[in-house]
Amino acid sequence: MKEQENGDYSHVLKYTGLFGGVQGLSMILSLVRNKFMALLLGAGGMGFASLLNSVQNFSSQCTNLGISFGAVPRLSELYEKGDVTGLEYFITVIRLWSLVAAFLGLVFCIAVSSFVDEMTFTWGNHTLHYAMLAFSVAMIAITGGETAILKATRRLGSLAKIQVSTGLVSLVVSIPLYYFLFHSGVVPVIVLMALVTMLVTMCYSYRYYPLRLKVGKRLLAEGAGMIRLGVAFVLAAVIGSAAEMLVRAFLNVEGGLADVGLYNAVYMITFTYAGLVFSAMDSDYFPRLSAVSQDVEVTNQTVNRQIEVSLLIISPMLAGLMVMLPVLIPLLFSAEFLPIVEVTQVAILAMYMKVLTMPVAYITLARGYSMSYLLLELSYFVVFVLLIMLGYWQWGIYGTGVAIVVAHVFDYVLINGYAYWKYGYRCTASVLRYAAMQVALGLAVFVLTCLVDGLFYWIIGAALTLVSTAYSVSILHSKTHLWKSLLKRLRFS
């Protein structure tokens, strides 16, 4: 039992680190690519690329049916049972629905291209540019289906390789095209990257599960549950996008574009940084949880271990980030953004709540309760928008940071309370113990940032971060083969 427990913790730690590292590398590649775009295309070219990408993402979101997410629970369950026949049959269902989504995306993008051109440009005719995006939208839909297959069948190494290789190819392909074609290279880069991602993903997926495409009403009917869950996930994402749009519109009206920019920087730093740890949730944790979602005891065990490892990894990172913000903000942006240091330090506290909430929220998705998930997400975003408004009216831009924290506390109570009542979820004593220690250290760092300046700020901040790190490492060492794995790697390096 002890060996099995250690293996479970080691698995979570391994893949949280793997996908966190991959996410970090992808962020670096993206920063390098954006830097070259800025140099080669200028602000106008970057704006044009941003506009096209937003249209592509919107079209994909409207037509992809959420297959990359909705297909995972059923497929994971079949994989866990070892039902090879059922697994291969449902993979056929996924691939058929992916083609349907690709066709919908193709038609939708072409149909709205003229309308979008009229809405976004006052000069020239860019209808053809938008119409050409239809091919990328269709390829994204096919990629989504193959990605779901790899997730559900635990091909996690392949997923990591795909993400890294496509990021590298994006950098290598885009720079020459921008250099030689200037603005005319934007659309080819978008389409080529969708093509490369699709082909690489298919290469890995077809290696494990060769293409056996069939067509029929029965196959389409088999995917109904998958589509319901997928569409609910997409709608939740749309609601989230709408909430963020409302927040930015409100800040623009009440304060101006400067406040919108400051808020956007706060949001980006807080959530992007934490995303290094949360990136493993979709690829590894969700398929594992889906496979055992009908067993209450195993579900609780899976959720609590994910919370423990994620909390222990992210807490020292959050403490260090809070301390280092006065140095990082000017480096990442400019001295103009120094006013967001205090706001961001407040907002970072919300990530402690998020790491305690997110694994529990996945239970609803793993069970396939699409409407419940949608209503829970809607409740959170309504409260989030209202709190941002109240916070800004009360304390200005600083109030938005406070609002983000309060909204995540609300989300924690809502999600955990619902899971306790509906699914029999029970938080373990170890989760509460680790959370109490790390949240207390996080609050201590926050108080430090408010009350102390100068040399003592850096000494005490470094000390608290080291305490948080030492606590996490000691717990992870006791629950995993951490030292043994590190020593083994060092011997072979």
- pLDDT tens, 53-79? 777 887 888 888 888 888 888 888 888
Give the number of other Cβ atoms within 10 Å of residue 123's Cβ.
Answer: 5
Residues in the chain: 493
Maximal CA-CA distance, the chain = 71
Give the least confident one: 39-53, 102-116, 127-141.
39-53
Q: Decide: 143 and 151 in contact? Cβ < 8 Å.
A: no
d(C-alpha 358, C-alpha 298), whole Å:
18
pLDDT per residue over 412-456, tens digit each?
A: 999 999 999 999 999 999 999 999 999 999 999 999 999 999 999
Residues 6+ apart with CB under 8 A from 321: 269, 273, 328, 348
Can you tell me the distance from the alpha carbon of 367 to that of 216, in angstroms, rounded to the nearest whole number?
27
Q: In which band, very low, low, confident or very high, does the pLDDT at 104 lie, cut at 50, 70 and 90?
A: very high
pLDDT, position 280:
63
CB 415 within 8 A of CB 360: yes
Tell whether the model's pLDDT for residue 488 goes beyond 60. no
Predicted structure pTM score: 0.78
Residue 320 · residue 60 · CB < 8 Å? no
- Amino acid present at 283: S
> What is the b/e burial string over 458-476, where b = at least 16 CB atoms within 10 angstroms of the residue's CB?
eebbeebbebbbebbeebb
What dihedral angle (degrees, nearest 10) is formed by the CA atoms of 147, 148, 150, 153?
180
pLDDT of residue 129: 80
From the list 485, 483, 489, 479, the residue with the least C-alpha distance to 309 is 479
SS3 (DSSP) at 331: helix
- Average pLDDT of the chain is 84
CA–CA distance, 32 with 175 (Å, rounded to integer): 10
How many Å apart are CA 169 and CA 172, to the nearest integer?
Answer: 5
Positive or negative: CA dihedral 202, 208, 210, 215: negative
Q: Where are the beta strands (DSSP E) in 20-117?
A: none
Per-residue pLDDT, 135? 93
| DSSP character at residue 368 | T
Check whether 300 has a pLDDT greater than 60. yes
Buried b (16+ CB within 10 A) or exposed e, 220-230: eebbeebbbbb
pLDDT at 486 (0 to 100): 44
- Residue 171 has what pLDDT? 84
pLDDT of residue 8: 60
Q: What is the pLDDT of residues 199-237, one digit of tens each?
A: 999 999 999 999 887 776 777 788 888 888 888 888 888
Alpha-helical segments (H) within 64-83 = 67-70, 72-81
Amino acid identity at 424: G
